[in-house]
């Protein structure tokens, strides 16, 4: 995919309720320059087809009101061969997004796989105010709903995340829409692999809903993302992995009971019970039994806490106790190969 052109962004921004001016052009140019200066090295450029038609950029497709985004195909043009580039990711060569919110996942090597696909906004430009903005949080959405949500709000996305929920794990793929490239995982080269903890898909699902829910600042989102996939970390460690000051974020996360601090060890931990039992949902027996307990991170506790309310996101059926997958067995069957055994 080609990098997005300034003229395109200008045209797209102006098509959204305002007349373009020289000042707009300067503001857009500055926002894009700032975005590029903060963006790290890419993983690979990607190409995009929407409704079976090729587009030069995601923004072009977003701007084309005839593009429904019911289906789309992402293809990496230069997938790297070295495993180092793919740290914390599953290597892919193409991803077909279906109208049912599922994805057909093709790896450079190995059998194809199926996943549930959801999108989140992480960086955007606000044409109305002429500034680059932290995301207006929402979602995570299936692709067509994501696009409709952005079109309704005249959002110009600069960076988005594609979350793929495989039966055994969720993988998070950041996409840079300004340069038209897929990005490596932000933690690659920072977070030692030995510290990384892959959560069951159901846990990641709840986590991502919380991340997108609009309650947390962008830096708190990154702190929680990072904290969620390690077994505890100090403030200094989190700062080096997140790449910025996390003190305020840790305060907010502990106050909202998403994290606890082990004062003796000087470490912070994800509070899984709080994550799996959002305050907005009705509490039941498991809540009071684990309330106030610190530093419980075992999958057993986590699943015990989740069981009371876990439902299938597609059909809403209650899931059986101990179930770690996202979809119920019936829906897994209907979506297609999602019921494959975990790797
Ligand atoms: Zn279901």
pLDDT, position 85: 94
Domains in the chain, start-ordered, CATH in brackets? 1-189 (no CATH), 192-309 (1.10.10)
Q: End-to-end distance of the chain based on CA atoms, in angstroms?
A: 31
Written as tens digits, the pLDDT of the chain (343 aa) is 567 777 777 777 766 555 667 777 788 888 888 888 888 899 999 999 999 999 999 999 999 999 999 999 999 999 999 999 999 999 999 999 999 889 999 999 888 998 999 998 888 887 777 777 665 566 789 999 999 988 888 888 999 999 999 988 999 999 999 999 999 998 998 999 999 998 888 889 888 888 887 778 888 988 999 999 999 999 999 999 998 899 999 999 999 889 999 999 999 999 887 777 644 443 333 333 333 343 334 455 555 555 555 777 777 777 877 777 888 888 877 765 443 444 3
Asked whether the whole model's pTM tops 0.85, one would answer no
- CA 201–ligand 1 middle distance (angstroms): 15
- CA 18–ligand 1 middle distance (angstroms): 44
Strand partners, 96: 73, 104
- CA 313–ligand 1 middle distance (angstroms): 7
- CA 41–ligand 1 middle distance (angstroms): 39
Q: In this predicted model, what pLDDT tens digit does every residue of 119-164 receive, in sequence order? A: 988 888 877 777 776 655 667 899 999 999 888 888 889 999 999 9
User: What's the CA angle centered on 250, arms 248 and 251, to 5 degrees?
Assistant: 65
- CA 241–ligand 1 middle distance (angstroms): 36
- CA 317–ligand 1 middle distance (angstroms): 6
- CA 328–ligand 1 middle distance (angstroms): 4
Interatomic CA distance for residues 9 and 13, integer angstroms: 6
User: What's the CA angle centered on 239, arms 235 and 240, to 5 degrees?
Assistant: 120
- CA 138–ligand 1 middle distance (angstroms): 23
CB 299 within 8 A of CB 230: no
Tell me which residue of 244, 294, 225, 242 sits closest to 265, measured CA to CA.
Answer: 294
- CA 332–ligand 1 middle distance (angstroms): 7
Sole residue written with tokens 């897994």: 332
- CA 330–ligand 1 middle distance (angstroms): 6
- CA 338–ligand 1 middle distance (angstroms): 12
The stretches of the chain forming alpha helices (DSSP H) are 6-14, 22-38, 58-63, 143-152, 201-212, 218-228, 235-242, 247-255, 272-276, 285-290, 299-307, 329-335
Sole residue written with tokens 């061969």: 81
- CA 318–ligand 1 middle distance (angstroms): 8
pLDDT, position 329: 83
Integer angstrom CA distances of residue 51 from 70, 110, 146, 300: 6, 27, 15, 43
- CA 316–ligand 1 middle distance (angstroms): 6
CB 332 within 8 A of CB 325: yes
Interatomic CA distance for residues 329 and 326, integer angstroms: 9
CB 116 within 8 A of CB 101: yes
Structure-derived torsion over alpha carbons of residues 121, 123, 126, 127, reported in degrees to the nearest 10: -100
- CA 140–ligand 1 middle distance (angstroms): 18
pLDDT, position 309: 59
Interatomic CA distance for residues 210 and 259, integer angstroms: 13
């Amino acid at each position: 995919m080609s990098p997005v052109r300034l003229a395109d962004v200008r045209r797209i921004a102006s098509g959204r309720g305002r007349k373009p001016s020289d000042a707009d052009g300067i503001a857009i140019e500055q926002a894009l320059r700032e975005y590029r200066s903060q963006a790290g090295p890419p993983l690979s450029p990607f190409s995009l087809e929407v409704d079976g038609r090729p587009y030069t950029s995601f923004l072009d497709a977003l701007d084309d009101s005839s593009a429904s985004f019911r289906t789309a195909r992402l293809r990496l043009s230069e997938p790297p061969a070295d495993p180092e580039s793919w740290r914390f990711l599953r290597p892919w060569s193409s991803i077909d997004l279906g109208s049912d919110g599922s994805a057909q996942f093709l790896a450079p090597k190995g059998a194809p796989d199926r996943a549930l696909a959801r999108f989140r906004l992480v960086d955007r430009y606000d044409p109305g105010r002429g500034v680059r903005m932290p995301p207006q949080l929402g979602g995570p959405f299936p692709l067509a709903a994501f696009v409709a949500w952005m079109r309704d709000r005249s959002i110009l996305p600069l960076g988005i995340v594609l979350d793929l929920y495989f039966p055994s794990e969720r993988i998070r793929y950041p996409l840079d829409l300004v340069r038209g490239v897929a990005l490596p995982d932000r933690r690659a080269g920072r977070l030692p692999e030995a510290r990384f903890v892959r959560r069951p898909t159901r846990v990641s699902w709840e986590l991502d809903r919380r991340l997108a829910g609009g309650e947390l600042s962008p830096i708190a989102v990154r702190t929680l993302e990072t904290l969620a996939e390690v077994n505890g970390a100090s403030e200094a460690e989190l700062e080096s992995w997140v790449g910025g000051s996390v003190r305020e974020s840790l305060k907010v996360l502990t106050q909202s009971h998403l994290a606890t601090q082990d004062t003796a060890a000087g470490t912070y931990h994800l509070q899984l019970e709080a994550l799996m039992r959002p305050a907005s949902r009705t509490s039941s027996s498991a809540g009071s039994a684990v309330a106030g307990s610190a530093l419980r991170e075992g999958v057993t506790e986590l699943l015990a806490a989740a069981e009371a309310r876990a439902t299938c996101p597609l059909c809403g059926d209650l899931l059986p106790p101990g179930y770690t997958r996202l979809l119920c067995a019936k829906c897994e069957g209907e979506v297609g190969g999602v019921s494959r055994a975990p790797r």
